[in-house]
A and B are shown apart, each in its own frame.
Chain A
């Protein structure tokens, strides 16, 4: 018995009907009557909805009227209303951690049908709580100051939007992007569905704003190496890869590219998916932000032989922006919150060989077509085959790497609509006959169905069937035949086309698992990062202060990405703008004089909260999440945990078994 109960505690027990959720399966009156007879119980009542204002008021009044010093509510579950009843307990003037919740809905009425059994179980569970609460101690929530800066990881449209939102709210933002320019996939798109806005036209102003924003520190060619700390006080170490260009000195004149000893590029241009070649010194794309060139170490003669004429250095002259000696550098910054917006990768269609990608030259991915139809792309917007001809027939294969148990089970959400967009654009530019091979057309969202109708009316063909095979047409025509079972006609169609477009799906980034570990967040199916709650906390993660935006959380289109990025920014803002966080007191602590310093606990902490101070273990209460790993492992029992003290747990077990 804890000291301040003066012997017998004064417990209030409240049994909630939850309408009929509980009361239909548990005889709540009998339960309350039973509890009233147990030692230490001063008040025992039922109420229709304990979580309602009158229900909470009941607790408060009883504490005052009956000098209750412990409160037990048997109702739904702690995740739903523990906080509610703790507040009600505190409103009555006693420490909120003298409250304990018993779940007789999720753990009882919802999972049983027999009233007698369910009622007996409710009694057992409440008896366990009555045993336990005697040992509850008053606990305080600690307040920790929050660093107002925010880091945004990933410079696609999600990261850009989140960074601008935060920066415009006056917060310091570090935007970290691993490529030489921000912009992400969106920068590669030609038009956007369903409005057919020019992607660059709407994106590049935002990119420029990022580059010029006084509150944004933009780090490209940079990756997060390590995250230490905790909500409100993260220390993030960023690794800067060498660009071999002094960013501050480069003015983006691109004269170095002109005079490079390579007359023509010999390296596949990443931005155009290798459809053209670039030089070793290059700028990723004309609107790149920052407008700074980059040197490709693997392609540059100076790096390969050390004997280049270095015409680039000559032409750069007094600006002297080229620095072949650059090496990796590191920066560590303090931030209060982090928005992870690391994006996606497109499915590699080589994994489904039956589509012939990489085998037949005129089988393309949708991303390649985006670049072909783009006026600043490798063909200046002319949709041509690899031999220069203009296609007369084009087949678009939907769901490549999506909705397929052999690759990805998920629907990538954007492929139907971008396929329609590409169908429209290619038809517009070439007049070709276009065949869409689809499973279902998924066109939810504003303006999507209308766009589908529009493209259908433009004369694009739709064949409902999954392409089973792609093979060359007989007679060396250069065309390939798409074979599919048309499930509407109920027969196999074989359609020869000049060009095949594979609508590849969206996948988690190849290094998503590493990133997940760095930020201590979790992955769901397919490697996409897990939100804390799919409906009610869609941009939060299980790690406080780390938020998600964009396709790293799951496939989504640009409007949804921007909306989510805004939400992530708002959540981060709500955290850092408040200035402090309150920590749950369910933390582990070391009883220093009992600790033998055996070090067992130190490597076990998933939050690196434990260190060795003066030969003893020390748990930083701010870092501790209360997982209990160290508590279980401490071989001398010197680590305890608030709300999970051994006495509390043993008593709970004894209580639940007392009638067994």
Chain B
């Protein structure tokens, strides 16, 4: 009997939700396990880095890497898995476009360290110790991963073959992607393995979106009890649906919450946030600047709204504070 195809899972700068998403496949995971050999999955199985290093280059069919790249260790593992795998899949929003961790690109390493290790109310650090890449400990030299100034998406570190978007990817998307990869009839490299159309297309509320939508005031979800049958954008809630890939089954909409954009843009858009800002600007029902400013006050965190999952992968990439040293 020929060997089953080998697959690997790995996590970088992520919350663990993507790992949960794999487990969320529930009984379907048994099909996956039956079809493949999982040769590396730190969250669940006890394989070591050295096991991977020992494999032949290209011997893994597919590695699913979630999380953004923030440290030297993550970069090293990404490059290792790239080398060992035929197919490298960026799994979830963080690997795809940087995700929530990439919002750290609004600051730099120094500012992040300062906040995390010095100034937060809960920090007790009288010596002012900061993370270091190398230090003496009990007479030994300890080497630790370095912390980059800029958080990157996986494809900003190494070549990525496919993307499975989502924060986290939904079970049907994962199952579909695995099926595609095992099926052998591979789509062109660089494909995002979801429908290439915006979420509105299959939104159950699309018909209630007025043809001429003008927004005079933006509301945040906690400020309003949204009507369950009506287009959320029409209710002033900043739903990212028009600028976000579909395929998620509009779970947030079903929960009466606006889309936050985790599936990223369609293939024709380079910068989801900029594109949607452009669209939203066209919906403002005002001529005078003061009124426009007042309306925009309803979006207190524009980067966190329009670039919630995509800052690293966007044209902006990061706030320019220091030279981008990667």
Contact = CB atoms under 8 A, between A and B. Distances in A.
A601 to B, nearest CB: 8
A593 to B, nearest CB: 8
Contacts of A635: 198, 242-243, 269, 275-276, 278-279
Contacts of B212: 602-603
B211 A594 contact: no
A596 B283 contact: no
A137 to B, nearest CB: 16
A103 B56 CA distance: 56
Contacts of B246: 596
Interface string B229-257: 00000000000011100100000000000
Given A632-B278, A636-B243, A594 B213 contact: no
B81 interface: no
B211 A646 contact: no
A604 B279 CA distance: 10
B166 interface: no
Given A596-B199, A636-B269, A602 B211 contact: yes
Interface string A604-641: 10000000100000000000000001001111111010
Contact of B265 (A593, A598, A636): A636
B316 to A, nearest CB: 15
Given A598-B242, A599-B211, A636 B282 contact: no
A344 B201 CA distance: 51
Contacts of B241: 598
**Which residue of A594, A604, A640 has the most chain B CB atoms within 10 A of its CB atom?**
A594
A629 B200 contact: no
Q: How large is the interface on B (under 10, 10 to 19, 20 to 34, 35 or more residues)?
A: 20 to 34
B277 to A, nearest CB: 10
A597 B269 contact: no
A595 B282 CA distance: 18
Given A596-B198, A599-B211, A646 B243 contact: no
A650 interface: yes
**Which residue of A595, A602, A633, A646 has the most chain B CB atoms within 10 A of its CB atom?**
A633
A84 interface: no
Contacts of A603: 211-214
Nearest to B281: A633
B100 to A, nearest CB: 21
A600 interface: yes
Contact of B211 (A612, A636, A650): A612
A615 to B, nearest CB: 8
B266 interface: yes
Interface string B195-220: 01111110000100111111000000
Given A604-B282, A635-B276, A596 B270 contact: no
A638 B242 contact: no
B279 A633 contact: yes
Contacts of B282: 600, 604, 629, 632-633
Interface residues of A, number: 24
A203 to B, nearest CB: 43
Contacts of A591: 268
Q: Taking chain B's interface residues, is the majority helix, strand, or loop, or is none over half, making it mixed?
A: loop
A637 B242 contact: no
A635 B201 CA distance: 12
A618 to B, nearest CB: 13
A66 B265 CA distance: 42
Nearest to A638: B268
Interface string B253-294: 000000000000111111000011011011100000000000
Interface in B79-120: none
A637 B275 contact: yes
**Which residue of A593, A594, A597, A635 has the most chain B CB atoms within 10 A of its CB atom?**
A635
A638 B198 CA distance: 9
Contact of B268 (A594, A597, A604): A594
Interface string A568-604: 0000000000000000000000010111111110111
A636 B266 contact: yes
A634 B282 CA distance: 10
B211 A598 contact: no
A640 B268 CA distance: 9
B213 A636 contact: no
A479 B259 CA distance: 79
A599 B266 contact: no
**Which residue of A597, A598, A633, A640 has the most chain B CB atoms within 10 A of its CB atom?**
A598
Contacts of B209: 598-599
Contacts of A594: 196-197, 266, 268
Contacts of A598: 198, 200, 206, 209, 241-242
A596 B242 CA distance: 7
A634 B278 CA distance: 8
Given A636-B243, A636-B265, A636-B269, A599 B213 contact: yes
Nearest to A591: B268
A646 B242 contact: no
**Which residue of A594, A629, A636, A650 has the most chain B CB atoms within 10 A of its CB atom?**
A636
B288 to A, nearest CB: 17
Contacts of A596: 197-201, 242, 246
Nearest to A630: B282
Nearest to B278: A632
A637 B265 contact: yes
A650 B271 CA distance: 12
Nearest to B269: A637
Contacts of A640: 268
Interface in A270-319: none
Contacts of A597: 200-201, 206
A28 to B, nearest CB: 35
A650 B269 CA distance: 12
A637 B242 CA distance: 10
A639 to B, nearest CB: 9
Interface string A208-240: 000000000000000000000000000000000
A647 to B, nearest CB: 10
Given A594-B197, A596-B246, A602-B211, A646 B268 contact: yes
A591 B196 CA distance: 12
Contacts of A602: 211-212
Contacts of B213: 599-600, 603
Contacts of A636: 197-198, 242-243, 265-266, 268-269, 275
**Which residue of B199, B209, B278 has the most chain A CB atoms within 10 A of its CB atom?**
B278
B224 to A, nearest CB: 21
A634 B279 contact: yes
B199 A633 contact: no
A276 B149 CA distance: 86
A638 B200 CA distance: 13
Interface string A168-201: 0000000000000000000000000000000000
6 closest A-B pairs by beta carbon, nearest first, are A637-B268, A596-B198, A635-B243, A636-B198, A596-B201, A598-B200
Given A591-B268, A633-B278, A636-B269, 8 more contacts: A596-B201, A600-B279, A629-B282, A634-B279, A635-B269, A636-B197, A636-B198, A636-B275
26 contacts: A591-B268, A594-B197, A596-B199, A597-B200, A598-B206, A598-B209, A598-B242, A599-B213, A600-B282, A600-B283, A602-B212, A632-B282, A633-B279, A635-B269, A635-B275, A635-B276, A635-B279, A636-B198, A636-B242, A636-B269, A636-B275, A637-B269, A638-B198, A638-B268, A640-B268, A646-B270
Interface of A: 591, 593-600, 602-604, 612, 629, 632-638, 640, 646, 650
